[in-house]
Amino acid sequence: MKYVLITGGVVSGLGKGVTASSIGVVLQACGLRVTSIKIDPYLNTDAGTMSPFEHGEVFVLDDGGEVDLDLGNYERFLDVTLTKDNNVTTGKIYQSVLDKERKGDYLGKTVQVVPHITDAIKDRIEAVALIPVDGKEGPADVCVIELGGTVGDIESMPFIEALRQLSFSVGKDNFCLIHVSLIPVLGVVGEQKTKPTQHSVRELRALGLTPHLLACRSAQPLLDNTKMKLSQFCHVEAANILNIHDVPNIWHIPLLLRNQNAHHSILKQLNLLSIATPPDLEAWTRRAETFDNLTDSVRIAMVGKYVGLTDSYLSVVKALLHACIACSLKPSIDWIAASDLEDDTAQSAPEAYAAAWKSLRNAECVLVPGGFGDRGVSGMILAAKYARENNVPYLGICLGMQISVIEYARSVLGLEKANSNEFDDETPDPVVIFMPEGSRTHMGSTMRLGSRRTLFQTPDCVTSKLYCNPYYVDERHRHRYEVNPDVIGVLEEAGLKFVGKDETGKRMEVLELPSHPFYVGVQFHPEFKSRPGKPSALFLGLILAARGKLEAYLTRHQNGS
């Protein structure tokens, strides 16, 4: 196994995840099979319990793993299906070592960070690197490892030491270290400063790791004298100093790396030049250039709880982007804090209230994404009602689907107190109830997690036509509450149709309103499987409906064209 390690220096948030993904894309384009590992040095065993405000979205995998959002980048860029083991955390490592200690596996030895924790990290990396993630048999050729955090962080020290030992044990032909660092420009001087990177590399070298390549983040392309300075003081060949400057969209980054011969430097370090082919990035080039040249945009109202941090809905934003580009449109997302639509805000913050409603009324389609807790629920219900009554295309995901059921029960069935047990335990009309699941992906909670099959109840529904499958679809889930099976009959009599159910027929997976241009709610999260060039069917349907092109698209596809 060949390993490419990505570390970061100076500051966090430099885009190590996108850099790691892009390096994987370039190596794939050279004909190599690539897998990825993300190391997160926090003590949580996974990302499942973290607030989206704290850490961005929780990305969900097929096997039910709740992982760091960077694994979403890897899956989208590399078009692979990762496992929960591909996200290594301090919590997972310590838990495994402590479990062994309690069982007496260390034969009475004193259990220490070195060698027990570091050995556990090495063993975990080497085992996970062998898991095939691209649907083919056998292990990949190259494993790209991203170490979260910044070099020098106390919490990442055991991982740095374990990776130093790994680099020594696998041999220099099987290990390539790329250090991502910042090259700032001071406003007054206007000069590209290399000192922060010099310090960062010096710290890395003091810990026993020497970078083979530097990936320098900057606003503008690196000047030649900056490169020479970095080469001289960081002990890295000038040809191995890559510049990842700001670009119009992230799909340019694999092209940026290719244009700087990053693949040649990496392949040379890993002794793979003889088996690799020249990189074929035609599709990426087309995609990046198409996006750059789009002029027409579509206005999308995103009504959610966590709109203050767009990373909270990263996969939803990417899925909208993939769908828009397939329709030759630019996404123009209006972020609406759900609570700003509520009557209380009209009293306390009339300007925010007016702005939120103006954005909603100007939107060509409405999307209510997933979330937990009762904050903003009233605003989401108002958004769903507005979209339903005004024939504005609507997509509700997870909580967004439950919101549409509550709204329909209140407005159409006249059940004024209809609610979810999540928000009101005492509601006389619980249309959404707690439906826990014990499953093969049971991870210490009652959540329904990971890939599950949805069976379409009729091949005539819009959703099955969009998925081009009259029978079923497999999508990823992350929820505890679901539509109450006892109210399905009365809701369907009133016009709301549940066109997708699980294999037992008790869990409602997809709802549609046949009298509406596009009103769809899904209990699963279609955004997690959207890919560049392969947009999620439901996001595509939303954007097509926003432009009045859905009927023509479905007719064309039914005719097999």
Q: Which residues are catalytic?
A: 398, 525, 527
Distances (CA, A) of 132 to 140, 173, 215: 6, 22, 28
Q: How far apart are CA 461 and CA 456, in angstroms?
A: 8
Output the six-digit token pair for 340. Answer: 């700003």
Q: How far apart are CA 434 and CA 68, in angstroms?
A: 26
Q: How far apart are CA 302 and CA 400, in angstroms?
A: 11
Q: How far apart are CA 412 and CA 313, in angstroms?
A: 30
Q: How far apart are CA 169 and CA 75, in angstroms?
A: 29
Output the six-digit token pair for 97. Answer: 């070592």
Return the DSSP state at 172.
Answer: G
Tell me how far the alpha carbon of residue 265 is from its chain's centroid. Answer: 29
Q: Give me the amino acid identity at 323.
A: A
How many Cα atoms within 13 Å fall on the side-chain side of residue 365?
30
User: Which residue's entry shows tokens 């919101």?
Assistant: 403
Q: How far apart are CA 281 and CA 287, in angstroms?
A: 10
**Residue 287 near residue 532 (C-beta atoms within 8 A):** yes
Under DSSP, is residue 520 helix (H, G, I), strand (E, B) or coil? strand
> Cis omega before residue 485 (within 30°)?
no
Distance separating the N- and C-terminal Cα atoms of the chain? 44
Q: How far apart are CA 1 and CA 488, in angstroms?
A: 53
Number of Cβ within a 10 Å radius of residue 442: 13
User: Which residue's entry shows tokens 């609570």?
Assistant: 339
Q: How far apart are CA 173 and CA 238, in angstroms?
A: 20
Under DSSP, is residue 178 helix (H, G, I), strand (E, B) or coil? strand
Q: How far apart are CA 231 and CA 301, in angstroms?
A: 48
CB proximity list for 189: less than 8 A, separation 6 or greater: none
Q: How far apart are CA 262 and CA 283, in angstroms?
A: 19
User: Which residue's entry shows tokens 């954007």?
Assistant: 543
**Residue 393 near residue 366 (C-beta atoms within 8 A):** yes
How many Cα atoms within 13 Å fall on the side-chain side of residue 4?
34
Q: How far apart are CA 130 and CA 322, in angstroms?
A: 30
H helical segments located in 105-177: 118-128, 157-170
Output the six-digit token pair for 542. Answer: 């939303």
CB proximity list for 190: less than 8 A, separation 6 or greater: none
